Amino acid sequence: MMTIPVPYAERRFDPDYCRNRKSVMDVVTASAMDAYGVTRPQMMSHQRIGAITVPRQISMFLLREFGFSLHEIGDYFRRHHVTVVDSHQRINDRIARDETFHIVVSMIAKRAGLI
């Protein structure tokens, strides 16, 4: 028997689906927060201070790489999905040119259990 994936729009109302996805998002975000010494309220705030923006962007990058949709990530961080696209691109560019930063992002991903 073949299983057909249910689109996100239909799954988002399934409590188990939402709970499991949110817990993965929480773990990834907590890993970035721990690495940078940022609190959850700071992470979810609209502040644009580099000390807060970088771990937020790393979280968005890792969640996107892990397969979360732009809208799921945007909803989680209370941001527009275009912000997620921009964050993903910024982190991707920085990883390409900064080996140390690449190691930091890899360590956060490992701590979150993504790799």
Fold of 15-111: Chromosomal Replication Initiator Protein Dnaa; Chain: A; (1.10.1750)
Q: Taking the domains of the chain in order of start, what are their residue ranges?
A: 15-111
The pTM assigned to this predicted structure is 0.83
Q: What is the pLDDT at residue 17?
A: 58
Quote the mean pLDDT of the chain: 86
pLDDT, tens digit, for every residue of 46-77? Answer: 988 889 999 999 999 999 998 899 999 999 99
Could you give the CA distance from residue 2 to residue 55 in angstroms, rounded to a whole number? 39
The label of the residue with tokens 């998002």 reads 25
